[in-house]
Amino acid sequence: DAGVIQSPRHEVTEMGQEVTLRCKPISGHDYLFWYRQTMMRGLELLIYFNNNVPIDDSGMPEDRFSAKMPNASFSTLKIQPSEPRDSAVYFCASSFRTGWSSPLHFGNGTRLTVT
């Protein structure tokens, strides 16, 4: 299995631009998570999906952030417009349907820099 695949690995953009991060979860996993990692805040859960349906988006910082999961094999996290404080590493993770006891499988992350 190729694991969770994220693209791009690095993204540098200017303030005000739209940014789209992509994720392909492990085949057969029913849960998908988006996390953000910064030095100041550590790992923050932004949103998670179960069977392609958003379950909890309470961690999404503001309306500039949106996430979609059009099918079981693809998800996007979009920031529009981007701001310098959005600079962070964004991780996608997936897990099996057993949910609460299943380990998360993380992708290698997208390092976003907004100038």
Partner 1 sequence: AQSVTQLDSQVPVFEEAPVELRCNYSSSVSVYLFWYVQYPNQGLQLLLKYLSGSTLVKGINGFEAEFNKSQTSFHLRKPSVHISDTAEYFCAVSNTGGGNKLTFGTGTQLKVEL
Stretch that binds partner 1, among 16-24, 39-47, 62-70, 75-83 (CB under 8 A): 39-47
CA–CA separation, 92 vs 94, rounded Å? Answer: 7
Q: Which amino acid is at 101?
A: S
Binding to partner 1, residues 70-99 (CB under 8 A): 91, 93, 95, 99
Among 16, 56, 83, 85, binds partner 1 (CB under 8 A): 56
Cβ 81 to partner 1 shortest distance, Å: 27
Please list every residue from 96 through 115 that binds partner 1, using CB under 8 A. 99-104, 106-109
If 0-12 CB within 10 Å is exposed, 13-18 middle and 19+ buried, where does residue 22 land?
Answer: middle
What is the DSSP secondary-structure string of 67-102? EEEEETTEEEEEESS--GGG-EEEEEEEE-TTGGGS
If the CB atoms of residues 85 and 97 are measured against partner 1, the closer one turns out to be 97
Cα angle: 5, vertex 27, 105; to 5 degrees: 55
Catalog residues that contact partner 1 under the rule CB under 8 A.
Answer: 4, 31, 33, 42-43, 45, 48, 50, 55-56, 91, 93, 95, 99-104, 106-109
